[in-house]
Amino acid sequence: MAAVVPDQCVRLRSISMPSRSHPLALQVEEELHKLKTCVASSSLTSQMMGNALRGLGDLYNCMEELLRLPHNQQSLSHLPQKRWVEEELDGSVRLLDFCGATRDSLVTMKERIQDLQLALRRRGDAAIQSKMHAYIHFGKKAQKDLKNCVRSLKQTDNRSASSSAVNMDSELSMVVQVLTEAKEISISLLKSILSNLFMARSRPKASRLSLISKALQKKKVDCEEHENMSHLEALEVTIGDLETGLECLFRRLVQNRVSLLNILSL
């Protein structure tokens, strides 16, 4: 897959680690630094995006362990910190929806690719056109649905902005800041994946076709079949790698949500 310029730049902040930091906090800083370096790249390849998804899973795993520390749980179970936990839970549902919807879209996309491969093997022009139109229609619908997820996430971020500023000790402040940045990175990555795999946004004086469209218009008729099949096979492998990364991230987000729910039950 070709490199893609990230659809939305993630604001890179410097996190001040508390003195005498817990080893987990230092691990969080390391994981976050690696993610920032990746996302700050002027272009993201599919391999980089897959690695970043798995890196996000590792980051959320570290955050979950921090949230399970007794002193953090006690602090977050009381007002006003408890209000932040409630708002973070609301945001986590929306991020899970976005992640799950992206994962489902990749599954459907892979099915469309397999349909195209079958049509190419049978060399049926009508079938190829039919499957291609089905893919394009699916891509447009998926983008519309997923944009609604992003809009919902932004509304949640606006509501929770004030609560993140409540008085907390330095370690809890770091937890809040990292979870906020992790969410921003997650949204940016998911949007980059979608814009690269589906119909990309139009640019001045030229519109970018989807990868499938490029594959089906790439070469002359005499060598088209071989080129298209190779391209589709490579794309299928790419989607499989992204699916694995998304599954890892999804599981970690669920576990993170469980930890927050446990805090509210204290």
12 part of a folded domain: no
In sequence order, the β-bridge partners of residue 206 are 203
| Amino acid 170: pLDDT | 72
The closest of 198, 14, 184, 4 to 108, measured between CA atoms, is: 198
Instruction: Confirm if 227 and 240 have CB atoms less than 8 A apart.
Output: no
Q: Are 103 and 246 in contact (CB under 8 A)?
A: yes
pLDDT of the residue at 220? 47
CA distance 256 to 85: 11
DSSP result, 126-180: HHHHHHHHHHHHHHHHHHHHHHHHHHHHHHHHHHHTTGGGS---HHHHHHHHHHH
Contact criterion met (CB below 8 Å) for 101 and 93:
no
**Residue 216 within a domain:** no
Q: How far apart (Å, rounded) are the C-alpha atoms in residues 31 and 40? A: 14
- For residue 223, being part of any structural domain is answered with no
- The predicted structure's pLDDT at residue 190: 86
Residue 220, in any domain of the structure = no
Q: What is the mean pLDDT of residues 209-237?
A: 64
Does residue 191 sit within a domain? no
pLDDT in tens, 38-84: 877 767 788 888 999 999 999 999 988 888 888 888 888 887 888 88
Q: What is the mean pLDDT of residues 160-189?
A: 75
Q: Which domain holds residue 144?
A: 25-162+169-177+229-264
- Give the tens place of pLDDT for each residue, 238-247: 899 999 999 9
In this structure, of 10-14, 106-110, 121-125, 156-160, the range with the lowest mean pLDDT score is 10-14
Number of domains observed in the structure of the chain? 1
According to the model, what pLDDT value does residue 19 have? Answer: 44
17 within domain boundaries? no
Under DSSP, is residue 22 helix (H, G, I), strand (E, B) or coil? coil
Q: Is residue 125 part of a domain?
A: yes
pLDDT at 261 over 90: yes
Q: Is residue 102 part of a domain?
A: yes
**Which residues are CB-contacts of 202 (< 8 A; sequence separation ≥ 6)?**
208
